[in-house]
Structures are given as structure tokens and as C-alpha cells.
Amino acid sequence: MIAEKVRTLPDSPGVYRMMDAAGEVLYVGKARSLKKRVANYTKINGQSNRIARMIMNTAAMEFITTATETDALLLEANLIKRLKPRYNVLLRDDKSFPYILLRADHEYPQVLKHRGSRNKDGTYFGPFASAGSVTRTLNALQKAFLLRSCSDSVFENRTRPCLLFQIKRCAAPCTDEINKADYLELVSEARDFLQGNSRKTQEDLVGQMQQAADAMDFERAAIYRDRIRALTQIQSHQGINPQGVSEADVFALSEDKGQTCIQVFFFRSGQNWGNKAYFPRHDKEISADEVLDAFLAQFYDDRPPPALILINQDVPGRMLLAQALSLRAERKVTVSVPQRGEKRELVEHAATNAKDALGRRMAESSTQRKIMEEMAEIFALEAPPKRIEVYDNSHIQGTHAVGGMIVAGPEGFLKNQYRKFNIKDKTTEPGDDYAMMREVLTRRFSRLLKENGTRSDGDIDLKDASRPPQWPDVILIDGGPGQLSITKEVMNDLGIDDVTIISIAKGPDRNAGREHFHMPGRAPFMLEDRSPVLYYLQRLRDEAHRFAIGTHRAKRSKAIVSNPLDEVPGIGPSRKRALLQHFGSAAAVARAGQTDLENVEGISHKVAKQLYDFFHGNPEQNQR
């Protein structure tokens, strides 16, 4: 099949996809010449075991030609992140990084945390390695520069300063405690600091503190002192601050026994804005330089690159990557392997962190593997579980009821596979935990059967041990014999008899550590107080509870701020705004007569009748 494709392929750049008989994408690759590159796959001899398996599983191929090889590289990275092919190196954690945004669309600019597309008007500073580092920096910035953090609606409706003004973390421009010119001066100082001019900013504050002290204005001098302390606090959390590197990302790869860690450090405006460790998924046969090469392309698929990228070892596509990133950023981007000086020290520091992080990861994996083996022995499983699904419900007296499912495996929690279930069955009595559990499990496993077939069909993923299976080995239910009975009924109704079911019931007085475990055909039992398996199962239960509670709270909060007008057919944003401006509230709209509704601009006789019928229970309207 591949040889047949080669005959019609052009000798030009492009991207190719290799797919199995079920249509699943196995591999995405790029090529300077599609014809020459794909021709390499027509021979099994001389290929690595990984490539040979991939070729044998390939049943179809698709091709996209591109104008240049750099375009092919960018397209390849995008497709790999979107399709997650089995035989590619995969960047598993691809969440966007947080930034600090200094807004420019308001006369009193606001400083806030931002994540996602950069479509708001203002200056972005980042990326930061984590949301926690942004929050710490924002807190210190508030102390240092007293910039507002409130929303525009709060800002416009304040009549007196809020608590942040009282604790000296905001200048309170909302109530004119500071004039516009002075506030904009604070904004300018904050911008200078975030752009790397921290020394100048700090020297200016020291000078102003001294002037206030000389004028015997000690209260004002204390304010400057506190701002200087806040700046010092930010700098102390930044660790290494290089003198000769203003804007750069530093990557270092460490490899051991087929596992890889890539440590990334972010430097912006001459400041260290944090680091993060990645553990890309890849076949053990792939070399370290290939892993790093593929990782870099995917890392910058949806992120703006800095002017300089430093790596601790050379990669095959370094020059091509630099060209592609320069093309996308519309400015020069350099990718280099420093050999001496401060840049080399930065890379070595990142490499040390990568090695330490990989060591911790491998130690945790070894411990986790032992726990899974012990769990298999305790609960009479055929093998250590590769996928555990934990279920829990949450509600308040039956309202805003939701179910939650979390997933765990040998590598920890699989958060991208968590699922929430809004309880939809109208016949369920409020607070009936059994009925809610029945609905959640029925929906979950009915869909699993529909999309993946039986367990034996669904576990085809296990041919690649790095891919988590879709079918669970263990179902863990938060509850006692009642929840266990409901779960057994659902499994029997669906014809599923090869999944282990365990329920974990809290001990007397809901005392953690005295949990009772229930399984079909087995008397309830307890685990030893200090059993690692007991601690592990408690963590799973608590995580399911946290996830279900969080989902319930989000649903409840959304319901609290919801507007009844949102549910009226034909009432869009413009009409809703006109009604609220005319009557003052949704409750007043609900009480209004049909004639009064017709007096609102944009509300016709038909729409007014529809509104009136909706709020006054017209049988015909309810039927519609």
C-alpha cells in the first residue's frame, strides 16, 4: 500500500499521516521531499522495532503538501498535538501558561492574571511557570505599586474605598483617593519594573522615601518602605537573575532507563519567572535528540517564542526550527547550544534540575508500582490495575445534583479523563444517592460500550503500554453495601462481568483510617492502619469527593447569578438589556403586565405576550 502511494507523491515538502485499519492516526511526520521520505517505509528490513510495528499496522495514508519545509514543521507540530498519534513523541501537558496583563483599555489601568488567547488590549508579561507564581507576583505588585485589581463594574460603582485601600494594597482611584496623573505614574513604575528596570524603580523609591523622611513625613516614608520591601520580596523569589540574558527560554533534557524529563526555565526582562518539568511520552527506542526536537516544535505550536532559545544538546532540526519560529513570530528567533559563559551556566543549572526531577519521578513511579502490586494482591485482581475509576455524587438536599468520575493509573491522576455528570432524570427523588449513582454509572458504561465495544475490544490500547486503557480494571465507589448493590445491578444489566467493583465506606464516626471495604461475594474487611494501599485509596476517594464538590459548587454558583430572562425564548441580549433598564430588575419584569411590557422599546405585542405567558404560567405557553 505504501509503495503504491509513493508512485504518485510529489518531490516537494509536506506532512503525511499513517493510519491503522480503524482509522486511528498512528504517526504524523514531515518531509522535505514526501516522495523520498515515504519511500523509506516501503522496506521493513533495517528499520527499528518501533518503525517496523508502525509500518505493519499502517492500512492507509494521507498527505498534505506545503510551500516550504518550515510550513511542514509547523503543521506537523499542530497535528501531533491535536491527534496525539501513538508512535509520535507527545507533549502531555499542553496547558497555556499564565501571564500578567497590564490593561490599556481603561483610563485607570488594571493589573490582573491572564491565561488563554492574548486578545485584550494591554501589555502582557510572561509566561510564568505556574498560576501560583503569578498570584505571588501580583500580590507583591499590589503592595509595591498599589494598582487596582477590581473589575470595571466594581470600580465604577464604589462610593468609598474598599479593604485593599485600608491595608495599603491599592491607591483607591475609584473614589479619587489618588488623582489620575499620580495613578498613571504608579502604572508607569510597574511597567518599568516588569520590563526589567527593577533597579531604577527601587532607587527612585529609596530616594522618595528619604525625601519624605527628611520632611518629617514619616507616614509617607513608611509607605515607600513597604513598597521597597514588596519589590525585594519579588526579587528574592526569582532565584537566578542573569545579567547577560534578557529574554530566553532554557531547555535541558535528562534521560534514564527510557524515561525523559525536559526542564524549562523562563527568563523575561532579565528576571527568572519560574520553571516547569515535562515528561513527554515516547517510545524507548527514540533517541534523546529526537525527543527534544519533537518536544520543542510542539511546545511552541501555540505559544509565542522568545528571541533566544537555549538547549543543552543539539537537535537535528535546530536550524529549521529557528526558521519556522522566526516566520511565525515575524522577528528573529535563535536556537543555540551554548558552550561557555553565563548561558552555558543557565543550561547546566536547568540540566541539574531535569536530572533531579527525573529521579524523583522514577522513585515515585517505583513506589506507585509497588502499591499497585500490593493492591492486586489484597483485592484478588489478576494483575496490577492500569486504570481505576472512582465515582462520587454531590448535592444539597437534592438541588444542583452532579456526579463525578476521576481516573487514576500507574502514573497518578489522569485529569484530562475526569468526567462530570449533571443528573438529568426528572423522576429521581431529591437526595436519592442510589438513583443518582445508577444514572451516572449507566450513562458512563453505556457510552463506553457504544464507543469502544466490550472490554476485550477496548483494551486494544494496551498494545502500547504508554497509552491508558479506556476500560477500567477497578471501579471504586464512595459508599457502603447500598452503593455496591446498585453498581452490581448496573453492570449486570449491561452485561459487564469482568470489572472489579469495590466500595469504600467511612468508618465509625466517619473516622478516616477505619474504612470498611465491600466487594461482591466477600465479607466486609478493613486494611491495616498504616497500609500504603489504604492511604492510596483514601487519596482516590478524597480526590473524587473534591472533584464532585467543586463541580457542584460551580453549578450552584452559576444558578445563583443566572437571570430568568435567559430562559425566555426570543429574548436576546438587546431585549434583555432594554427590559432591565426599563423595569430595573428581572423580578419587576416578571410582575409587569402585558401592556407595560409593550411600552418597552423593541418589545412587540407578540414578544410581550410571550413574556407575560412565560412568567404567569399560560398552559399553552408551557406546553410549547
Q: How many CB atoms lie within 10 A of CB 234?
A: 19
For residues 34 and 17, give the distance between their C-alpha atoms in angstroms, rounded to a whole number.
Answer: 11
198 has a pLDDT exceeding 70 = no
For range 445-462, the mean pLDDT: 69
pLDDT given for residue 617 in this prediction: 65
103 has a pLDDT exceeding 90 = no
Q: For residues 84 and 90, is the Cβ–Cβ distance under 8 A?
A: yes
For residues 344 and 235, give the distance between their C-alpha atoms in angstroms, rounded to a whole number.
Answer: 22
Mean pLDDT across the chain: 83
For residues 313 and 344, give the distance between their C-alpha atoms in angstroms, rounded to a whole number.
Answer: 11
Query: Which three cell numbers mark 311?
Result: 538547549
For range 300-310, the mean pLDDT: 89
pLDDT given for residue 66 in this prediction: 92
Higher pLDDT, 344 or 424: 344
Higher pLDDT, 461 or 524: 524
Main-chain dihedrals φ then ψ at residue 336, nearest 5 degrees: -140, 160
Q: How many CB atoms lie within 10 A of CB 230?
A: 19
Main-chain dihedrals φ then ψ at residue 273, nearest 5 degrees: -105, 30
Tens-place pLDDT, residues 590-617: 888 888 888 888 888 888 888 888 877 6
Tens-place pLDDT, residues 430-448: 777 888 889 999 999 999 8
Place of cell 474605598: 161
Of 225, 198, 201, the closest CA to residue 213 belongs to 225
For residues 439 and 561, give the distance between their C-alpha atoms in angstroms, rounded to a whole number.
Answer: 28
For residues 54 and 522, give the distance between their C-alpha atoms in angstroms, rounded to a whole number.
Answer: 44
For range 476-481, the mean pLDDT: 89
Query: Which three cell numbers mark 316?
Result: 537535528
Q: For residues 500 and 473, is the Cβ–Cβ distance under 8 A?
A: yes
Torsion of CA 407, 399, 444, 420, to 10 degrees: -40
Of 273, 301, 231, the closest CA to residue 99 belongs to 273
For residues 69 and 75, give the distance between their C-alpha atoms in angstroms, rounded to a whole number.
Answer: 10
Tens-place pLDDT, residues 387-399: 999 998 887 655 6
Q: For residues 385 and 473, is the Cβ–Cβ distance under 8 A?
A: yes
pLDDT given for residue 548 in this prediction: 86
The predicted model scores a pTM of 0.67
For residues 90 and 43, give the distance between their C-alpha atoms in angstroms, rounded to a whole number.
Answer: 26
Main-chain dihedrals φ then ψ at residue 104, nearest 5 degrees: -130, 10
For residues 347 and 471, give the distance between their C-alpha atoms in angstroms, rounded to a whole number.
Answer: 42
Rg over alpha carbons for the chain, rounded to the nearest Å, is 30
pLDDT given for residue 559 in this prediction: 58
For residues 18 and 285, give the distance between their C-alpha atoms in angstroms, rounded to a whole number.
Answer: 19
For residues 146 and 10, give the distance between their C-alpha atoms in angstroms, rounded to a whole number.
Answer: 62
405 has a pLDDT exceeding 60 = yes
Q: What is the longest distance spanned by two Cα atoms in the chain?
A: 89
For residues 115 and 347, give the distance between their C-alpha atoms in angstroms, rounded to a whole number.
Answer: 27
Torsion of CA 297, 298, 299, 300, to 10 degrees: 60
Alpha-helical (H) ranges within 422-519 are 433-452, 455-458, 481-494
Of 444, 548, 429, the closest CA to residue 491 belongs to 444
For residues 167 and 276, give the distance between their C-alpha atoms in angstroms, rounded to a whole number.
Answer: 33
For residues 458 and 334, give the distance between their C-alpha atoms in angstroms, rounded to a whole number.
Answer: 45
Q: SS3 for 48-71, per residue?
A: CHHHHHHHHHCCEEEEEECCCHHH
For range 511-532, the mean pLDDT: 83
- Residue 156: enclosing H or E segment and its boundaries? helix 152-157
119 has a pLDDT exceeding 60 = yes
Cα three-residue angle 553-557-559, rounded to 5 degrees: 120
> Cis peptide leading into 127, omega within 30 of 0?
yes
pLDDT given for residue 190 in this prediction: 83
Residues 6+ apart with CB under 8 A from 616: none
pLDDT band of 507, cuts 50, 70, 90: low
pLDDT given for residue 396 in this prediction: 66
513 has a pLDDT exceeding 90 = no
Of 311, 319, 401, the closest CA to residue 351 belongs to 311
Q: Kindly report the length of the chain.
A: 624
What percent of the chain shows pLDDT beyond 70?
88
467 has a pLDDT exceeding 60 = no
pLDDT given for residue 468 in this prediction: 60
Tens-place pLDDT, residues 358-383: 988 888 788 888 899 999 999 999 99
What one-character DSSP code corresponds to residue 303? S
Tens-place pLDDT, residues 231-242: 666 555 444 556
Q: For residues 243 and 223, is the Cβ–Cβ distance under 8 A?
A: no
Q: For residues 66 and 59, is the Cβ–Cβ distance under 8 A?
A: no
For range 562-570, the mean pLDDT: 71
For range 516-527, the mean pLDDT: 90
For residues 124 and 147, give the distance between their C-alpha atoms in angstroms, rounded to a whole number.
Answer: 16
Tens-place pLDDT, residues 213-222: 888 878 778 7
Query: Which three cell numbers mark 430?
Result: 431529591
Tens-place pLDDT, residues 242-254: 667 878 999 999 9
Query: Which three cell numbers mark 214?
Result: 527628611
619 has a pLDDT exceeding 60 = no
Q: How many CB atoms lie within 10 A of CB 112?
A: 19
Pairing of strands 25-31, 99-103: unpaired
Tens-place pLDDT, residues 40-96: 998 888 888 888 989 999 999 999 999 899 999 989 998 998 888 989 988 876 567
pLDDT band of 348, cuts 50, 70, 90: very high
Q: How many CB atoms lie within 10 A of CB 108?
A: 17
Alpha-helical (H) ranges within 330-432 are 341-378
pLDDT given for residue 621 in this prediction: 42
Structural domains in the chain plus CATH codes: 2-83 (3.40.1440.10), 99-236 (no CATH), 248-360 (3.30.420.340), 388-559 (3.30.420.340), 564-623 (1.10.150.20)
Q: How many CB atoms lie within 10 A of CB 138?
A: 17
624 has a pLDDT exceeding 50 = no
What percent of the chain shows pLDDT beyond 90?
27
